[in-house]
Amino acid sequence: MILLTFNILNIESETKNGFQISDEERLKITEDNTKAVLRILDIHDIKASFFIEISIAQKLHHLIKAISSQGHEIAFYNKTSNLEEIEEVKKNIQDLLEKQIRGIRQKDFKLAQENLKSLEFNYVSNIDNADILFPFKRLKRDTEINEEDGLSIVPESISPYSQLPYNDFVFQILPMKYYKNMVFETLKNDDFVLIYLNSWQFTDFKKYKFDIPYYRSLFSGKKMEDKLDALLTFINENDMATSRMKDYIF
């Protein structure tokens, strides 16, 4: 099973040479990038899970409704929000969609699992930092979903052969030929492959002068759209099963 997920969050990087980008413009970039992802998913009729960053969720009601109306899962991505903020946003978005939000994802700032359970989340999908050295830092990882404190804990996926993780950076940098082989080999060994990408990776950095590392701007923007399209074509041509996170876990 392939679990395709997207983190929807604004770019926080500074800009180059005095180039100004307001908070409103950053949000618009995030919306446009997400709509590009939705178009590609719709072409291939593949459903995914979208993890909306807590601090911007209240400003993205129209986008969130569009994502959900196309059959995709809405979950949350927490960067620095506290329990009270998460509870308020969760209630608001559940009222908006008339659906329960089951999943949450964390990276640097992690709240205790019992607290997340108290907010009636059903699963946690934590991720690590992905930089140019990340693939060489951890060579072993649990690849099975475990139950802890009443929550399903979904680990990041890692190739059992290349030892590369399925994070946003690896997808952006690795040639699609090798990425496809990695997916094939992993599914021979594991029950699922969890892939996650960030909305900001679809930004045209020639147009928007963000000060990001050169290796992070490689193959971004339209090239990321093309890579995603190639991955989904590969998935459908090989009749690979895909699922939203909540459907696979429950």
DSSP-derived secondary structure for 169-225: HHHHHS-HHHHHHHHHHHHHHSS-EEEEEEGGGGS-TTTS-B---HHHHTT-THHHH
Q: Which residue has the tokens 């969760």?
A: 90
Number of domains in the chain: 1
Whether pTM exceeds 0.75: yes
Residue pLDDT, tens place only, 13-37: 888 887 888 999 999 999 999 999 9
Residue 160 pLDDT: 87
Res 227 pLDDT > 80: yes
* pLDDT band of 133, cuts 50, 70, 90: low
CA atoms within 13 A on the CB side of 149: 14
* pLDDT band of 213, cuts 50, 70, 90: confident
Give, in order, the Cα–Cα distances in Å from 7 to each of 30, 104, 199, 226: 10, 11, 6, 18
Residue pLDDT, tens place only, 190-212: 999 999 999 999 999 999 989 88
* pLDDT band of 3, cuts 50, 70, 90: very high
Q: Specify which residues 103 forms β-bridges with.
A: 123
Number of CB atoms found within 10 A of residue 247's CB: 13
* pLDDT band of 69, cuts 50, 70, 90: very high
What CATH number is associated with residue 223?
Answer: 3.20.20.370
DSSP secondary-structure letter at 167?
Answer: S
Domain that holds residue 237: 2-249
Task: Determine the Cα–Cα distance for residues 104 and 189; give it in Å rounded to an integer.
Answer: 26
Residue 51 pLDDT: 98
Res 135 pLDDT > 80: no
Residue 160: strand, helix, or coil: coil
Cβ neighbours for 192, distance < 8 A, ≥ 6 positions apart: 1, 2, 3, 157, 248
Residue 149 pLDDT: 83
Task: Determine the Cα–Cα distance for residues 179 and 221; give it in Å rounded to an integer.
Answer: 19
Residue pLDDT, tens place only, 70-83: 999 999 999 999 99
Average pLDDT score over the chain: 92
Query: Quick one: which of 190, 175, 99 has its CA closest to 141?
Result: 190
Cβ neighbours for 237, distance < 8 A, ≥ 6 positions apart: none
Mean pLDDT of 135-140: 52
Residue 230 pLDDT: 98
Residue 194 pLDDT: 97
210 within 8 A of 82, measured Cβ to Cβ: no
Alpha helices in the chain (DSSP H): 23-44, 54-57, 61-69, 83-97, 113-118, 168-173, 176-189, 214-217, 222-237, 245-249
Task: Determine the Cα–Cα distance for residues 164 and 128; give it in Å rounded to an integer.
Answer: 13
